[in-house]
Structure 1
C-alpha cells in the first residue's frame, strides 16, 4: 500500500550558462539546453549561482532571459536579478519584465557587510520595480556573508512583499525552521538537490536543482514517487539522484562536463574553477551511459 502522498515538488533546473571555447556566451548552446530540458523539469532558474551570474554582464543576462522565455514560456522561467548593487538589480528587473518574465529571484546583497535594514531596502526596491510579478529572495550565506534568520525573513517578506525564497547552503540546512516561521502562502525551494523528499515533507514547494539541468529524470522520478507515496519507487529514485550528486559533485564545472558528454555545449567556465580530472570524467561518462534513454 502507498504511504501518505504529498504535493508534487516543483523542480526548477538551475541551468548553467554555456560559453564557447573562448569564454564567449554561446546563446545557441543555451537555447539547445533549454529545449532539451523541455517538460522534463517544471521550469528554468536562469542566471543564478550555477549560471555564473557574477561573470555575466547586463546584456548577457537579459539575452539569456529572452532565450528562456522564448523557449520555455514566461511562466516556466525564474530569472535571477541578484547583483552587487541595488541599481543593477532594479535595472535587471525592469528589463526582464519587459520580456514578459513573471517570476524573479534576488540574492541578498553581498561583498560589503550589511545589516537587516540594508537587506530590507534592497529587496523593497526590487519588489517595487517588479510590481505584481513574484519575487523570491535568495539566501546563500556562504557566498554572500549575509545571514538572515527565519524570523527576520518572515518580517522582510511581509514588509517587502517577497513571495518566497530559495534557500541554499546553511539556509537550506534550516529549511524546517524557515517553513515554520513563514506563512503558508510564502513558497520555499531548497538548493539541496537530493533533499527533495525531505523538503516536500517539510511543506516546501520543491528544489532549485543544478544537477537536474544535466540529469532531469532521476529528480522527476523522485518527485513523482514522493507525490504518489510509493516508498519503493522513492528509494530507487533517491539512489539515482544520489549517484548524480556523487559523480558531478554539485558544481557548475561537473554539470557542464556532463552536458558536454551529452553533446550540449562546451564545458568552458568563465569564472575560475577547479579542473575536472580523469576520474571525474570517467564517473560522469558511466552516469551518462546509465541514464541514457
Structure 2
C-alpha cells in the first residue's frame, strides 16, 4: 500500500467512566470517512497512545478497523521503548487487520542511530503489516535523520514516514534520501500540509481534520487539481483553529472542539485535564466562526 492524501490523526473517544467509547468511535469514524478523508491514523499523539493500556489499544483498534471495513486504510500506532514489546503489539494489530503500523521512535533514553536502525529493521523483519516511521523529536528527544532514511527506506516492509518535526527542510531531506524507493513522506505538521505537498510529500497526517475535515481534505484536493490559490486559501484558513490548540495540553482543546461539534469524544486521560471554562468559551467562539463562514472555505 502507498500512504497518501489527507489522513486524520484521530482522537480516542472516552466515555464518562474514562473507558473506550465504542459508539462514539463508530460515529467519528463514519463522520470522517463521509467527509472524504484518505485514511485514519489512530493511537498517535492526539490519540493518547501513551496513556492507554495494550488491552485498550487493541479494543480501540478493533472497533475502528471493524467500523472502517476497508473503506480507507487504518494506520495503527504500536510504538514504544522495547523492541520486543513493539513487535508483540504490532503482530496483534496486524492480526486485527491494521493496514499499516505507525511506529514512533523509542523515547526517554535516546538510542544511537545504529540502535534506532536495528530497532526498525528488526520490526520490519517480524512479519507484520507495513511500517510507517514516526518522527516527533520535540516530544521524544530522538530525531530520525535523512541519512538513516537513506539506509532503511529500501526495505520492502518500511513504506514511509510521518514527520512532525515542523521543519520543512527535514521533510525535503527525507524526500531526497528516499527518492529512488517506494517510500512515502507525510507531513505531521498541519501548518505545512501544502508546503510539504509542493516539496514532494505524498500527503499529511492532520489532527485538525478531526474538526476541520472538509477544509483539510480540500487542501489536498485542490493541490491534486492544480488550484494553488484555493489550496493556499484552505491552508491559511486553519490557522485560527491552530491558535486555540495551544490553549491547553494535547489533546484537551481538540477533544473539546469535537465535543462542541456534536460527537461526544469525552475528556482527555489524566494527568491531562479538560479545558477551563474560559478556554471552552474560546473553543465555542472559534467553532462558531468556522460554522458561520463555512461557505467561504
Same fold (TM over 0.5): yes
How far did residue 274 of structure 1 move?
5.7
Post-superposition shift, 1:66? 1.1
Q: How far is the alpha carbon of 1:94 from its aligned partner?
A: 0.9
2:97 aligns to what?
A: 100
Unaligned runs of 5+ in 1: 1-8
Cα distance per residue 1:22-41 (max 9 Å; x no partner): 32222222222112112321
Q: Deviations over 1:155-200 (max 9, x none)?
A: 1333584211011125665111211111252101111113111111
Rounded to whole Å, the distance in 2 between the matches of 1:97 and 1:161 is 13
Between 145-154 and 46-55, report the one with greater CA deviation: 145-154
Aligned residues: 285
Q: Closer, same or farther in 2 for the Cα pair 1:47/1:205, shift >3 Å?
A: same
Secondary structure of 1:158's counterpart equals coil
CA RMSD of aligned residues (A): 2.3
Distance 2:221 2:99 in 1: 26
Match of 1:201 in 2: 198
Within the candidate set 64, 67, 73, 1:68 is matched to 64
Does structure 2 retain, via aligned residues, the 8 Å contact 1:259–1:267?
no
Which of 7, 16, 20 lines up with 1:12 in the alignment?
7
Aligned counterparts of 2:244 and 2:166: Cα–Cα separation in 1: 22
* Aligned position for 2:148: 152
- Superposed, 1:50-199 pairs within 5 Å as 50-74=46-70, 75-131=72-128, 133-158=129-154, 161-169=157-165, 174-183=170-179, 184-199=181-196
Q: Counterpart of 1:289?
A: 288
Q: Distance in 2 between matches of 1:153 and 1:171?
A: 16
Aligned counterparts of 1:106 and 1:77: Cα–Cα separation in 2: 14
Give deviations 1:35-66, integer Å, cap 9, x for gaps. 21123211110101111101111111111211
Deviates further, 118-127 or 203-212: 118-127
TM-score (norm 1): 0.88
2:217 is the alignment partner of 1:249: no
Unpaired runs of at least 5, structure 2: none
Q: Relative contact order (alpha carbons < 8 A, sep ≥ 6): 1 or 2 greater?
A: 1
SS of aligned partner of 1:101? coil
TM-score with structure 2 length normalisation? 0.87
In 1: Cα distance, 2:261 partner to 2:75 partner: 25
SS in 2 for 1:269: coil
Deviations 1:212-248 (A, max 9, x none): 0122011112212222222432243123222221233
CA–CA separation in structure 1 for the residues paired with 2:91 and 2:281: 44
**Is it true that 1:220 corresponds to 2:217 in the alignment?**
yes
- Please give the alpha-carbon distance, in whole angstroms, between the structure 1 residues aligned to 2:165 and 2:14: 26
